[in-house]
Amino acid sequence: MNDAAKKVIVTVAVFSGAVLCQLGDSPILLEAWENQAFAGEIDNHQTRGVVVATTYFSVKLRSEEDGLVTFYVPEKDKLAKHEVGQLLTGDQVTILWGREDGRKWVRGVAGE
């Protein structure tokens, strides 16, 4: 990998509680409950539904749009593990997630 490929420029601006950042050419607006942005994956996915079951590394959600969906928690993501660990069956939540290796990985959880 050459030196040019290793450089990343991140521009961040805060406007009345919203965070706008730019990774590369496309700007990203972080919602109030989002705490991360990922380079190369600008379009974060969100699924809203009711918690059906949780384990230490996964959460099953029943969504009106997608039916029963399983989301996995990255082993090294302490915040995501904590958030998923607080969920109870029947909780109404929105999960921010990204797809990698054919799985849906939790990036954040917002209760409703």
Residue 66 to residue 89: CA distance in whole angstroms: 18
Quote the pTM value: 0.64
Burial zone of 9 (CB within 10 Å; 0-12 exposed, 13-18 middle, 19+ buried):
exposed
- Look at 103 and 6; give whichever has higher pLDDT: 103
- Look at 38 and 54; give whichever has higher pLDDT: 54
pLDDT value at residue 102: 87
- Look at 52 and 100; give whichever has higher pLDDT: 52
pLDDT value at residue 63: 94
**Residue 91 pLDDT more than 70?**
yes
77 dihedral zone (left: phi>0; alpha: psi -120 to 50; beta):
beta
Query: What value does the mean pLDDT take over residues 81-96?
Result: 92
Do residues 34 and 96 make contact, with C-beta atoms less than 8 angstroms apart? yes
**Residue 6 pLDDT more than 60?**
no
- For the ranges 3-7, 8-12, 34-38, which has the lowest average pLDDT? 3-7
